Amino acid sequence: MNTDAKIVQRSIVGKGIAHDSAARHVAGEANYIDDMPELPGTLHAAFVLSPVAHGRLNSFDATEALAMEGVAGVWSAKDVPGHNEVGPIHTGETLFAEDIVDHEGRVIAVVAANDFETAYRAAKKVKLDIEPLEAVLDIEDAHRRKNYVVPVQEVVDGDVDTALADAPHVFSGKLKMGGQDHFYLETHIAYAIPGENGEMLVHSSTQHPTEVQHHVAGILGIHANAVECQVRRMGGGFGGKESQPTIIAGAAALIAAKTGKPCKMRLKRRDDMAGTGKRHDFVVNWKVGVDERGRILGLDAEYLARAGNLPDLTGPVITRALTHTDNSYHIPHARFVGHACKTNTVSNTAFRGFGGPQGIITIEAIIDTIARELKLEPNAVRAVNYYGDETGDTTPYGQKVDDNRLVEVTDAVLASADWQQRRAEIDAHNAANPVIRRGLAMMPVKFGISFNLTSLNQAGALVHVYLDGSIFLNHGGTEMGQGLFVKVAQVVAEVFQVELDMVRISSTATGKVPNTSATAASTGSDLNGMAAFKAATAIKARLTRVAAEHFDVEEEVIIYREGRVHADNRSVSFGELAKMAWAKRVQLSEAGHYATPKIHWDGKTMKGRPFFYFSYGAAVAEVAIDTLTGETRCLRADILQDVGSPLNPAIDLGQIEGAFVQGMGWVTCEELWWDKAGRLRTVGPSTYKIPGSRDVPPIFNVRILDNMPNREETVFRSKAIGEPPLMLGISIWLAIRDAIASIAGSVPQLDSPATPEAVLRSVREAKGRLKDS
């Protein structure tokens, strides 16, 4: 299907148009669920949460809570009329704990009251009888005990053991990388409104309305057709609202069904951080064999991922980590193994990048180590390992890299960042300044676009054309601030060649477009944009036949331009043509459906073509570190990102900047910390540090790769943008390593995040090496 057909000149797609809610965002006029007018009798809910990491739930006593004025009731597992299940993949992942509580913050019951504060206080009044059990909190401890939530996964290609045995040089190492809280501005929230005949309308802050719909139906013991989930917008998601919202929506819907009253449930920041999943922290042990140039001959990497108490999405996250361990480099002999370690902490979940960052930081640390051990320039080691004619073009999982833009992107960013000059200046600075050290690093990213599970790569859209020429648009994607809605609206406006304000963007609703996939994996525009394109194109084909008949010309003569439909020197407005079509009883509505072609994946052999295409990018980062305090600062960042032919370059630039800063937070300042009892202590902005405006590099150069349309047939030849730039933030961590390496000329011992404490420990270790030498 040619997405350029019958469009003479693009007038809307490719323009930098503001986010459809931008003005309302800054004016405080964009409505979120908590801004919705509450219906009379609305109840408010709060969870009763486990205060311990592991224990046997013998009983709980809600007498004192129920005696409080305004409390409507307390519900737990025994009150669920249907299935006490909320797992996105596996069964046994319950809404309410039944016999065992297995992490601090585990949901035991829910309290409803006339107002939120009363519900919250009442939840604290519920007395819990929990018999303490031993808690496993450490990933490596869980691995030693063989405590896993899903079976081991392996990507194997070639003969790794022989490659390592025959390699001229063999290096090994261990890297620990921390997790990350999503810290969306809007915490989890749902508003459930009961209807007649058992129907339930759920407004949910979710990236996956269909999953909320199905789980609410399961909890209530009704069919999915009795539940509608709607989402106008979220105040951020980042993956944290993919599987987790079913917990909040399920509880609110249960109360609404039990009481016959609307119920709103929203989490306080502390409860949101303690009780919902995060990015997986990993430990990876690796061994690599290389030749004299640093060319990788074989790599053996074993990942230990903190799954937490339940599987959630850990299995697919590990899959993506394993399929991104190669990043941009051909590895002829590979063995990548991933273990999903069960710990008594909250189950980790999706987060922007979805395992990709963990795989990519691993191989980048390995490349950096190879270079420093062999006394080579890191970029030279990268270059000799890039996918290409000299090395190879097939990944360890069997997909051919046939749209390679690595050399083009990396050469361009090195040139625009004045690498050679700045490298010399930084080396001179470090030779004369023992306290404030500077570092410089470049890294590329090759990121696969598509869900690993092939069946998820589909989307639907609904388009109506009304008699005044205005257009109604609905699709399965959700808006969380990333600009998906305006991009898809641009696609529809482009097809009909009308002004963008003629396209009405509507809330995502399972009653309009069913069986949707999550807005995740950077596929939102690819899937929903193409579905909307197909729907609009089908209507346009019918309109074109009407226009051709009206003007008595061949269909090929008809041209759509600037809100009018032309045949040579004659024309009618788009609205007039819609009226003509209606008068002729022509259908002006269409449901479009799109399924990504070419992809396939075998989860048993871990082979196939899981990704429709790759997105490429590169970044150069410069940092300064204080060797006395461990403090760091990114002084400059230069980014070049491949987005194909962008649907909206302004939105894309914003996504690149935001993703980079979020990635920077993951590798520098965002640290999750549990005490010895398994209680998360970083549960708010006072203890959990996300990047602020002063952390953004003062020199921040972001560019989009020009004139490089996607080789695959995506909507208007665009490429995904949501996740790939996050990995470029790893360049800051590499630059910190470079600064530390300048002290003793050795491989820095630095885990992630590079907090001031971690940097100071690494600096002291480097100074110790220097002294010993």
DSSP codes of every residue in 177-245: E--B----SS--EEEEEE-GGG-EEEEE--S-HHHHHHHHHHHHTS-GGGEEEEES--S--TTTTSSTH
Q: Are residues 416 and 463 in the same domain?
A: no
Is 259 a member of any domain? no
The 10s digit of each residue's pLDDT in 403-460 is: 999 999 999 999 999 999 999 999 999 999 999 999 999 999 999 999 999 999 999 9
Q: How far apart are CA 3 and CA 23, in angstroms?
A: 31
Average pLDDT over residues 89-103: 97
Percent of the chain surpassing pLDDT 70: 99
Cis status of the peptide bond prior to 753, with omega within 30 of 0: yes
The 10s digit of each residue's pLDDT in 680-732 is: 999 999 999 999 999 999 999 999 999 999 999 999 999 999 999 999 999 99
- pLDDT at residue 8 tops 60: no
Q: How far apart are CA 764 and CA 755, in angstroms?
A: 14
Among 595, 626, 656, the domain-final residue is 595
Q: Are residues 435 and 565 in the same domain?
A: no
Is 752 a member of any domain? yes
- pLDDT at residue 7 tops 50: no
Question: Angle 730-744/649-668 helices, nearest 10 degrees?
Answer: 40
- pLDDT at residue 53 tops 80: yes
User: In terms of C-beta density within 10 A (0-12 exposed, 13-18 middle, 19 or more buried), how is residue 329 classed?
Assistant: buried
Is 728 a member of any domain? yes
Answer yes or no: are the C-beta atoms of 254 and 75 closer than 8 Å. Answer: yes
- Which helix (H) or strand (E) element contains residue 170? strand 169-177
The 10s digit of each residue's pLDDT in 645-655 is: 999 999 999 99
**Structurally, how many domains does the chain consist of?**
2
The 10s digit of each residue's pLDDT in 364-380 is: 999 999 999 999 999 99
Q: Are residues 619 and 768 in the same domain?
A: yes
**CATH number (domain holding residue 572):** 3.30.365.10
Q: What is the pTM of this model?
A: 0.97
Average pLDDT over residues 594-604: 98
Answer yes or no: are the C-beta atoms of 260 and 194 closer than 8 Å. Answer: yes
User: In terms of C-beta density within 10 A (0-12 exposed, 13-18 middle, 19 or more buried), how is residue 588 classed?
Assistant: middle
- pLDDT at residue 763 tops 90: yes
Tell me what pLDDT residue 9 has: 57
Q: How far apart are CA 614 and CA 226, in angstroms?
A: 40
Task: Select from 420, 417, 412 the least CA-distant residue to 701.
Answer: 417
Is 674 a member of any domain? yes
The 10s digit of each residue's pLDDT in 460-496 is: 999 999 999 999 999 999 999 999 999 999 999 999 9
Is 330 a member of any domain? no
Q: How far apart are CA 74 and CA 119, in angstroms?
A: 10
Measure the CA dihedral 560/566/569/570, to 10°: -150
Which residues, 6 or more positions from 2, have their beta carbon under 8 angstroms from its beta carbon? 713
Q: Are residues 464 and 448 in the same domain?
A: no
Q: Is 205 left (phi over 0), alpha (psi -120 to 50) or beta?
A: beta
Is 318 a member of any domain? no
DSSP codes of every residue in 596-637: --S-EEETTTTEEE--SEEEEEEEEEEEEEETTT--EEEEEE
Q: Are residues 446 and 469 in the same domain?
A: no
Q: Are residues 572 and 615 in the same domain?
A: no
Q: Are residues 635 and 728 in the same domain?
A: yes
Q: Are residues 501 and 572 in the same domain?
A: yes
Tell me what pLDDT residue 773 has: 75
Tell me what pLDDT residue 5 has: 37
Task: Select from 382, 447, 391 the least CA-distant residue to 413.
Answer: 382
- pLDDT at residue 500 tops 90: yes
Q: Are residues 615 and 529 in the same domain?
A: no
Q: Are residues 519 and 416 in the same domain?
A: no
Active site residue 377: no
Q: Are residues 630 and 765 in the same domain?
A: yes
Is 373 a member of any domain? no
Q: What is the band of 244 on the pLDDT scale with cuts at 50, 70, 90?
A: very high
- pLDDT at residue 144 tops 50: yes
Rg (CA), the chain: 27
Average pLDDT, the chain: 97
Q: What is the band of 771 on the pLDDT scale with cuts at 50, 70, 90?
A: confident
Q: What is the band of 772 on the pLDDT scale with cuts at 50, 70, 90?
A: confident
The 10 Å CB-count burial string (b at 16+, else e) for 524-547 is: bbbbbbbbbbbbbbbbbebbbebb
Strand, coil or helix: 552: coil
Q: Which of 196, 723, 757, 765 is catalytic?
A: 723
User: In terms of C-beta density within 10 A (0-12 exposed, 13-18 middle, 19 or more buried), how is residue 569 classed?
Assistant: exposed
Q: Are residues 464 and 445 in the same domain?
A: no
Q: How far apart are CA 577 and CA 579, in angstroms?
A: 5
Q: Residue 533 is part of which domain span? A: 22-30+458-595
Tell me what pLDDT residue 86 has: 98
Is 492 a member of any domain? yes
Tell me what pLDDT residue 115 has: 98
Q: What is the band of 569 on the pLDDT scale with cuts at 50, 70, 90?
A: very high
